Amino acid sequence: MTNNDILPTDMKGWHKRVLQLTWPIMLSNLSVPLVGAVDTAVVGQLSHPRYMAAVAIGAIIFSSVFWAFGFLRMGTTGFVSQAYGRNNTHQVSLAFLRACSIAIVLGFIIILLQKPIGWLAFSLMDTNAEVTSTAESYYAIRIWSAPATFVNYCILGTLIGLQRMRLALATQLVLNGANILLDLYFVLVLKMDSEGVALSSAISDYLAAGFGLWLLREYIRPVLEQPTTFIKHMLHRKELRAMFSVNINLFIRTLFLTSAFFFFTAQSTQFGTATLAANAILINMLHMLAYGLDGFAHAAEALVGGAYGKRDKQAFSAAVKSSMLWAAIASVMITGLYALFGMSIIRLMTGIEEVISLAESYLPWLIAAPVLAVWSYQYDGIFIGTTQTSTMRNTVGIALVIYVIVALVTVPYWGNHALWASLMLFLVIRGGSLALYYPKLLASMNTRTNP
């Protein structure tokens, strides 16, 4: 595919392109919770509930640790999409292989630090010795997947940047499909309990990484043909500095986001167990809507990044408008679905009437969430595609400070409703502050020079 295929010539073409790029990512995202459901169902067939508890604890630890390295996916998408927009295959290869090199190094650092990381993680878990011991066995196996997991982030970021969303879907299907099949084999056939779940996750990560590297073999070939020359280009000081700057900003931004939801959970504990459980259900539903809207944000990353790399201001604006429009339409649809079926979803997650009643009283905040949150997701996609990550870092930091202050002031008076209102404010400020920076970003295309 050349950059002539990247940029449609009219708005109808842009709408079609956005939808073509969005649906594979949405399907890919839907496959993620399916793996978690299968993990739970498989260990649920074992003789003791400690295996379910151990897998749940292990999954939380790895999702928290690995999520912090999500910058490998986002940063790679930005650099690759811009190089692809310039039709510069050499720069695509450099961006991908630089990211993979960092991913492998970070993965082995995580393995080397597994004992202190494990000690810290398990010290925060209030579980009995039996569950902790089982979870530690799961952790000791799963930690070895870190290099493959991080490489998979780079592969996914590259495929999104290249607008190969169907191949991105294929890699996720390999990852999640292998995970499910190996789960069934190791646990139900070989009787390996929670250690089998950990082993299936680790093996499937390496299988997916191998498959993804094979898909991107044309971008790996140059380093095999001219290793000395290519490595010299990979170590170019200016480009390395730019990559580290982008990734550090994204890492800090992710820590801010993690802190926001940690603060929400910490504040929820003061309202009692039932309210804490109700909030947990609604937060899961908030994450579910993010899965649905992420497809449009990823389409924006790819299309906006391609136009930005080509310095085509008209295409840039068209990509923004089209992806924004479809994301807004999707957000209204999700709001409607939550309004109609929100209580049904809540009842699927729990049968405890007290929790259901409390969740119903706070459900209106979740119904409003899609149309309030969609702008933060979409502007994130725009700024990732243009690698303007310092702005993302700063706006999330500002939004976090305001959110915490407003919550601390209002929660003592209005309780959990104030906490939800503060979280909605956090989402609005994230999107609104990036919207304020957008005109400056658009204007910068008049003076920007290609790297």
Task: Dump the DSSP string for 32-97.
Answer: HHHHHHHHHHHHTTSS-THHHHHHHHHHHHHHHHHHTTTHHHHHHHHHHHHHHHTT-HHHHHHHHH
Higher pLDDT, 236 or 402: 402
CB burial of 111-141 (b: ≥16 within 10 Å; e: otherwise) equals eeebeebbeebbeeeeeeeebbebbebbbeb
Q: Residue 276 belongs to what H/E stretch? A: helix 273-310
177: Cβ contacts below 8 Å, ≥ 6 apart: none
Q: Which residue in the block uniquely carries the two structure tokens 């400056």?
A: 440
CB burial of 281-295 (b: ≥16 within 10 Å; e: otherwise) equals bbbebbebbbebbbb
336: Cβ contacts below 8 Å, ≥ 6 apart: none
CA dihedral 258, 263, 266, 269 (to 10 degrees): -120
Comparing CA positions, the residue from 205, 100, 159, 155 lying closest to residue 298 is: 159
Comparing CA positions, the residue from 108, 291, 104 lying closest to residue 209 is: 104
Higher pLDDT, 10 or 105: 105
- Please say if the pLDDT value at position 34 is more than 70: no
Percent of the chain with pLDDT strictly greater than 90: 39
Q: Which residue in the block uniquely carries the two structure tokens 């897998």?
A: 55
Of 75-84, 120-129, 335-344, 395-404, least confident by mean pLDDT is 120-129
Q: What is d(CA 38, CA 50) in angstroms, rounded to the nearest whole number?
A: 17
**pLDDT digit string, tens, across residues 239-274:** 778 888 888 999 999 889 888 888 887 888 788 878
Mean pLDDT of the chain: 85
399: Cβ contacts below 8 Å, ≥ 6 apart: 260, 426, 429, 430, 433
Comparing CA positions, the residue from 422, 416, 413, 318 lying closest to residue 372 is: 422
pLDDT value for 120: 85
**pLDDT digit string, tens, across residues 272-330:** 878 888 887 888 788 888 878 888 999 999 899 888 888 888 889 999 999 999 999 99
**pLDDT digit string, tens, across residues 207-243:** 999 999 999 998 888 777 777 766 766 676 777 788 8
Q: Which two tokens stand for residue 68?
A: 């912090």
Higher pLDDT, 82 or 289: 82
44: buried, middle or exposed (CB in 10 Å: 19+, 13-18, 0-12)?
exposed
- Please say if the pLDDT value at position 449 is more than 50: no
pLDDT value for 31: 65
- Please say if the pLDDT value at position 360 is more than 60: yes
- Please say if the pLDDT value at position 1 is more than 60: no
Q: Return phi, psi of residue 109, to 5°.
A: -65, -40
pLDDT value for 273: 78
Q: Are 319 and 235 contacting, i.e. CB atoms less than 8 angstroms apart? A: no
Instruction: Give percent helix, percent strand, percent coil of the chain, each to the nearest 5.
Output: 90, 0, 10
